[in-house]
Amino acid sequence: MTPLERAKKSTEAMWREDGASQWLGMELVSVAEGEAVLTIVIQKHHCNGHGNCHGGISYALADSAFAFACNSRNQATVAQHNIMNYIAPAKEGDRLTATAQEVSLQGRSGIYDVRVTNQNNQLIATFRGMSRAIKGQLFVE
């Protein structure tokens, strides 16, 4: 199995069980080994009292992209630590894209950077996630 085939099969297995990302309205755009891209269109129920996209929504989008990227090798992997930096507000109607990229993978620990941009490629937020591989796989290989 090629790394891309493994990443796609891992993603399919995870997506089937990922009620949260689906319920929030995320769409999985692409995945490769150590990479993932997800999008969401910001709707009224995603906005806070200031009329901006709630920080938890953009965080959830970045976190989901991180999750698909770090689980792309069919090794069960969880977050051990992450940080989000909010750069600019997103508004209702914006299409946010979270692009996750592996920075480092050493043993059971990984580092991933995620950029959240809007439909104009404006940077909305950055996210750095540290992962930890645990026992198990997403599918039998």
Q: What is the pLDDT of residues 7-31, one digit of tens each?
A: 999 999 999 999 999 999 999 999 9
pLDDT given at position 54 = 97
Helix (H) or strand (E) holding 23: helix 19-24
Residue 124: the pLDDT is 98
Residue 139 within a domain = no
Looking at the structure of the chain, the number of domains it has is: 1
Question: Sign of dihedral through CA atoms 56, 29, 11, 105?
Answer: negative
Q: What is the largest CA-CA distance in the chain?
A: 48
First to last CA, the chain: 9
pLDDT at 71: 97
Is residue 140 included in any domain, yes or no?
Answer: no
What does the pLDDT read at residue 8?
96
Please tell me the predicted confidence (pLDDT) of residue 52: 97
> 69: domain range?
3-133
- The verdict on residue 76 lying in a domain is yes
Would you say residue 141 lies in a domain?
no
What is the pLDDT, as a whole number, of residue 70?
A: 97
CATH at 33: 3.10.129.10
In a domain, residue 125? The reply is: yes
- What residue ranges of the chain have pLDDT lower than 70? none
State pTM to two decimals: 0.95
Distance in angstroms (rounded) separating the CA atoms of residues 107 and 84: 24
- pLDDT value, residue 84: 98
